[in-house]
Chain A
Amino acid sequence: MSDLMNTAGRRALIRLLFCFALVSLAFTSSAFSQSGGELRFCLRSEPKTFDPLLVDDDSSLAIRYLTGGVLVRANRKTQDLEPELAESWKVSKDGKQITFKLRHGITFSDGSPFSSEDVAFTMQRLMDPALHTSTGDAFRSGSGAVSTKIIAPDQIVIIFPAPLAGLERLFDQVAIMSAHSPKKEVAVLGPFLVAEYKAGSSVLLRRNPNYWKKDSQGRRLPYLDSIRLDIQSNRDVEMLRFKRGELDLINVLDSDYFDRLAASSPQLAHDAGASLDSDFMWFNQVASAPIPEYKRAWFRSANFRRAISQAINREDLSRVVFNGHAQPAVGPVSPANKFWFNSKLKAEPYRPDSALKRLQADGFRLQNGALFDKGGNAVEFSIVTNAGSKPRERMAVMVQEDLGKLGIKVNVVTLDFPSLIERISQKFNYEAAMLGFRNVDLDPNGQMNIWLSSAENHAWNPQQKSPETAWEAEIDRLMRAQASTADPKKRKGSFDRVQEIAAEQAPFIYLVNQNALSAVSGAVEGANPGILSPQTFWNAERLTLNASTRASR
């Protein structure tokens, strides 16, 4: 009897242990696949909107990237276009239509199904003139409305009034909204959804339980449970918190901070190489600008501009101002832009002798260490730049010294940003300006508003009724030509020539392309910082935190 009891007891014990082991295994497996922890990093300003179609600022862009589902996505490492919500797409030969074949079985975060109706709704809302969004402006190819044609629940055609070059790449910025969900901004197709927003403090994103993507082992993405975005504009505080382990990422770092971090923890500091951003200066060539006529004549001379360009030591700018974390700039396209960069061009080398010869060819003469033009006017001009940007102020001081060696007197003036913008874009009351261009678009269409002579951002001489110079007319023609064909080779040929003219005429004197610098904590697994925005969390759905960090949070 006692043996029988023992045997029954042993069996019960074994069953109990077996059940316990199964439950533990299931729990561990679930925890491994789903509990990636909470990633933390900072937004440098308050997000201005949560509406994905109205996004215009960096913080809102970051939130849109993490929450929005797009039809196609540009891979931030390879720069290739990859299918997302659309399985495939086809652009018509005339470049006016694009047909998307959509994935099946996808639902929004609120459970409503995704179909071509949602794409049609998003495009109609995006192109609504009353909404007026920068994302929508990129799709405006000519007069006339953009229309959509739903062929099937999984197939849609979007028709544009005029050819739109690089059309498919523009959809990387279009987060699809639900046509039927009552809470449009809350229903998302991206890996995360906005769970909590404390104005002035933080935004909490949680995993979208209905996110469609799975990894190669069939585990549902994203790995992370949540992302906490603290709103913090002070970079010193951001760096201190990162060093203390309170933050996991710093998406964009200045070279000073980068070097300090690299000195103490080199494994956390990441330099991905030259970014798309560029710093440059230009001379005011506006006919009605309140500057002396003889100075306007200097600024309108290509020889003068090229001479200034040759007299600037870009290697020194990169080495001294950015501690080597920048490259001498070649032109409007950074070498980081693999397809569109004209590889025949090289950065203007530092050649003060050649610069002086160019100036002498234009009638300038060096006398007692000072340069005079043929009218006997001493060569002196001011460079305005924005106060508070240390790198730019340092560059201006170095340019001041470089040009001083040619006998040119340069006055550096730092102004608060609104005053600066008023001077360079409304009153044109300046002589030379130094600013930067933060380029997020690989395609040259993103630079149409700079290169067309009629454009507002044609900084050296904006809003011309007709091109005032032959080379500007040529650029206008080439920019329009590349925008009106879908043939990548023809487009590349046209834009290569634009870059050559920009190098010959030097309307912008490009100085440096800053490197993409970032910081990633050792707690983050799967990070692979790149040069395209968002540099550190472009693959957020595949990021996870290590076990010890997960346990400590």
Chain B
Amino acid sequence: MQRERMNAARKLACVVVVAVCAVSLAANWLAPAGYAKQFRDAPSAPPSHQHLLGTDEVGRDRFARVLYGTRISLLLAPAAALVSTVLAALVGGLAGYLGGIWLRLARGFTDLFLSLPWLFLLITVRALLPLNVSPLVSVLITFLILGLLGWAASARVLSTSADALRNSDFVLQARASGLHGPRLFLVHVLPNLKPVLYAQFWISIPVFILSEANLGILGLGVAEPLPSWGSLLRELEGLITFREEPWRLVPLLLLIVVMTSFQLLLSNEEVTA
């Protein structure tokens, strides 16, 4: 019974994620005004037929910004997750497979990497980047940095799994049969790491979405006028009561719904793993 309920919830989560992705991809048709146009005669306007979720402080259509922001955060976060998972597989998977000093070195390095104050480092890295980049390039750079810096935790998990596989019976048997080096890793170890890799990939997506949101709150994420969930969440600063302007909470609700959906889908992957 409980399993059936979980399956139903996962199906619902899948529908939600697909629906949100589809709607955000259709932003050009659903919100033709675009995310940057400023309706200066109607700043901070409440919802109306013209602006379904009202306008922001400089008069931009909030519905359009939510759609485009969702598109950016939902498309680029998986891309960043892919980068970090590949790096984690290379560092953690190989170190676990090689064992010995390589494993100890890799664990020491990942521990050091994990202990660094990332928020300050991200702010510094962002400040060092060239100033004259278009908003689209800036968003790509932001997520690329997140992807390049977010591999350490996954690498640690993967190194443990690969270490366990190294001493497993089937790997020993493969070695006894004369299989060594990269071929043994690619044919026998890596395919058995797949479930862990999938799980790490799914875990990283919400982490990167929230990281970008945090950077956005600091004013360091995606450059204006491009929207992202981070920049949309910044609008909630200074909102004293929910009753004042409840429509401003839509980006937050969307983030919660999508994150919850990812978690439900993820639990399925973890079971498989």
Contacts and interface: CB of A to CB of B under 8 A. Distances in A.
Interface of A: 235-236, 239-240, 256-257, 260, 316, 319-321, 380-382, 384, 387-388, 390, 393-394, 396-398, 400-401, 409, 411-416, 419, 429-431
B238 A320 contact: no
B240 A416 contact: no
A398 B38 contact: yes
Contacts of B40: 316, 319-320, 398
A256 B57 CA distance: 10
B131 A320 contact: no
- B contact residues, range: 20 to 34
Interface string B130-166: 0111110010000000000000000000000000000
A384 B219 CA distance: 12
Interface of B: 36, 38, 40, 43, 57-59, 123-124, 126-127, 131-135, 138, 218-220, 223-225, 237-238, 240, 244
B223 A401 contact: no
B224 A412 contact: yes
B238 A257 contact: yes
Given A397-B224, A398-B38, A413 B58 contact: no
Contacts of B58: 320-321, 394, 397-398
A431 B132 contact: yes
Given A321-B57, A393-B224, A411 B240 contact: no
B225 A415 contact: no
A411 B131 contact: yes
Contacts of B43: 320
Given A320-B57, A320-B59, A387-B219, A413 B240 contact: no
A414 B127 CA distance: 9
A316 B59 CA distance: 11
Contacts of A401: 36, 38, 225
15 contacts: A236-B240, A257-B238, A260-B240, A260-B244, A316-B40, A320-B38, A320-B58, A390-B237, A393-B219, A393-B224, A396-B224, A401-B38, A412-B223, A412-B224, A416-B220
Given A320-B59, A416-B123, A411 B134 contact: yes
Contacts of A431: 131-132
A467 B28 CA distance: 53
A403 to B, nearest CB: 13
A384 B240 contact: no
In the A-B complex, list the 5 residue pairs whose CB atoms are closest, starting with the nearest: A387-B219, A419-B127, A382-B131, A414-B219, A412-B224
Given A394-B58, A431-B131, A388 B219 contact: yes
A384 B36 contact: no
Nearest to B57: A394
B57 A413 contact: no
Contacts of A320: 38, 40, 43, 57-59
A460 to B, nearest CB: 17
B240 A239 contact: yes
B234 to A, nearest CB: 8
Contacts of A235: 238
A409 B132 CA distance: 10
Contacts of A387: 218-220
